[in-house]
Structure 1
Amino acid sequence: METNQLHRGRLIDHLQLVVQDLKASQDFYTAVLGVLDIPIVGTADNYFWADELVVSSAESPAALGVLTGRHHLAFQARDRATVDAFYRAALAHGGRDNGVPGERDYHPGYYAAFVLDPDGNNIEAVYHGEGRRSAPSVVIDF
């Protein structure tokens, strides 16, 4: 996977989460993103990043000393087994259950698992089923 390439036309260019415990978050995201074949591509004293996700401590100059609030991030998985592996990796690396792997009513074939990361963000892995690249509508969970 090429992670240092500019992708014009994306809805989101990048996202930053500012967390309380950078080490705990790095352990969590390294594990769950690794299952999804998304590598951590860089680290520094106050932050790390993977693709377009930046996770930093409040001490990071870009954070201005302020933690971000609760967010819902959904990562696409290549199949149901990857969703299941994501869930297990999350629980083994500081995540808390927020919805066991299973089908959801969003659309036929929507198979997902939800966990809370060390800062309480709702992190999801979703497989949309055969022949689907993305959900037909936005799912908002606050």
Structure 2
Amino acid sequence: MEIQQIHRGRLIDHIQLVVADLPASYAFYSAILSVLGIDMGGEGEGYFWADELFVTAVDGPAALGHLTGRHHLAFQAHNRAMVDAFYQTALAHGGRDNGQPGERPYHPDYYAAFVLDPDGNNIEVVFHGEAKRSADSVLIEF
């Protein structure tokens, strides 16, 4: 796999999902990431990637023949309209509803939508509100 750029200092270096149907996952992720303004990084035999998300076919050499299981991945949106667009796009490209767009009780202005990807992973897109978007980092107490 070819990496375009290394980002040091992040909490997560990369995430790999091993999927049962790579073409279905490619159609799903390329569509939703496009809505979020994230370009696909590339693809090769048995895998594709975007930013630090790597998706591998179950029969690919990096998968070792095992699916990764269910995960919850959350992507950030720039506004509520982007959350809404993500939700509609995801449903149109093989996603299944797991929570329509709306405010959530996690903190004020938490607006999110949830879908299950073709392998059952819980994919969320969240907009944290204008005040939180303008800050470089925000401490949220639970």
Q: TM-score, normalised by structure 1?
A: 0.91
* 1:15-70 Cα deviation digits (max 9, x unpaired): 00000000000000000000001111101120000000000101211111110110
* Residue identity in the other structure for 1:123: I
Shift of the 53–111 alpha-carbon distance from structure 1 to 2, 3 Å rule, reads same
Map of 1:74 onto structure 2: 74
* Secondary structure at the counterpart of residue 26 of structure 2: helix
Q: Which deviates the most, 3-12 or 93-102?
A: 3-12
Map of 1:122 onto structure 2: 122
Map of 2:6 onto structure 1: 6
* Secondary structure at the counterpart of residue 131 of structure 1: helix
2:52 pairs with 1:52: yes
Q: CA deviation at 1:131?
A: 2.0
RMSD of aligned C-alpha atoms? 1.8
Question: In the aligned structure 1, how far is the partner of 2:95 from the partner of 2:141?
Answer: 24
Structure 1 stretches lacking a partner, 5+ long: none
* Secondary structure at the counterpart of residue 25 of structure 2: helix
2:133 pairs with 1:113: no
Structure 2 stretches lacking a partner, 5+ long: none
Ranges of 4+ aligned residues in structure 1 off by more than 6 Å: none
Map of 1:94 onto structure 2: 94
Q: How many residues align?
A: 137
Question: In the aligned structure 1, how far is the partner of 2:73 from the partner of 2:50?
Answer: 13
* Secondary structure at the counterpart of residue 109 of structure 1: coil
Question: In the aligned structure 2, how far is the partner of 1:53 from the partner of 1:101?
Answer: 23
Question: In the aligned structure 1, how far is the partner of 2:91 from the partner of 2:128?
Answer: 22
* Secondary structure at the counterpart of residue 34 of structure 1: helix
Map of 1:35 onto structure 2: 35
Report if aligned partners of 1:128, 1:135 keep a CA contact under 8 Å in 2: no
Question: In the aligned structure 2, how far is the partner of 1:72 from the partner of 1:14?
Answer: 14
Map of 2:16 onto structure 1: 16
Q: TM-score, normalised by structure 2?
A: 0.91
